[in-house]
A and B are shown apart, each in its own frame.
Chain A
Amino acid sequence: DAGVIQSPRHEVTEMGQEVTLRCKPISGHDYLFWYRQTMMRGLELLIYFNNNVPIDDSGMPEDRFSAKMPNASFSTLKIQPSEPRDSAVYFCASRRGQGGQPQHFGDGTRLSIL
């Protein structure tokens, strides 16, 4: 089975540019999560969706960040405008159902804002 697929794997862009990160969850998984990993804060949850509907976006740091899930097989995380402090590794994860089910992670997008 294909795992969670993220693209691009690496992104380098200049401050002020729009950045779009993409995620394809595992087929059949109805929960999708976006995380950010930094040295200072570790792995922190930004937002999650259930059946394509955003449930909790309390971790989104600022209005510059937005996330969408137009269908069950695709989600985007957008930063506009980007700033150097947004540099981090962004992970997407998906999960089937509630309860004792683990989340499965993609390999992440390493984002560098110059």
Chain B
Amino acid sequence: DQQVKQNSPSLSVQEGRISILNCDYTNSMFDYFLWYKKYPAEGPTFLISISSIKDKNEDGRFTVFLNKSAKHLSLHIVPSQPGDSAVYFCAASEIYSNYKLTFGKGTLLTVNP
């Protein structure tokens, strides 16, 4: 059973518009969430994170929102750029498992010029 789900395998947006990537989780013990970006033939690169004590974290064009009651988080990219085209992975962890990560299967974002 998947504890972290990214239900959209792909997303296509126009340059300059907002990209919204979604992630749902089932384990209520998760208390730290991360987003990674992955280009082909490279390893995942850390993008942004959020602790369960917050509901929003912002870093430049990237904002992550956490809704604990819905067990849902989302990544907003504004404005989207062609260089943002990549696979985005959502990951979740908890203190009681040494913060080992459980990943979603990823969403392929394509930003069209």
Contacts and interface: CB of A to CB of B under 8 A. Distances in A.
Contacts of A31: 98
A50 to B, nearest CB: 7
B98 A98 contact: yes
Interface string B78-113: 000000000001000001011111111110000000
B63 to A, nearest CB: 17
Contact of A104 (B32, B46, B99, B104): B46
Contact of B34 (A44, A50, A102, A106): A102
A33 B100 contact: yes
Interface string A93-107: 101001111111111
Interface in B16-68: 32, 34, 36, 41-46, 49, 51
B105 A105 contact: no
Interface residues of A, number: 25
Nearest to B2: A42
A9 B105 CA distance: 22
Contacts of B100: 33, 45, 48, 56
Interface in A48-91: 48, 50, 55-56, 91
Nearest to A106: B43
Given A42-B106, A43-B89, A48-B100, A107 B42 contact: yes
Q: Which of B32, B49, B100 is most buried by chain A, counting CB atoms within 10 A of its CB?
A: B100
A21 interface: no
Query: B34, B44, B49, B102 — which one has the most chain A CB atoms within 10 A of its CB?
Result: B44
Interface of B: 32, 34, 36, 41-46, 49, 51, 89, 95, 97-106
5 contacts: A43-B106, A55-B98, A98-B95, A103-B46, A107-B43
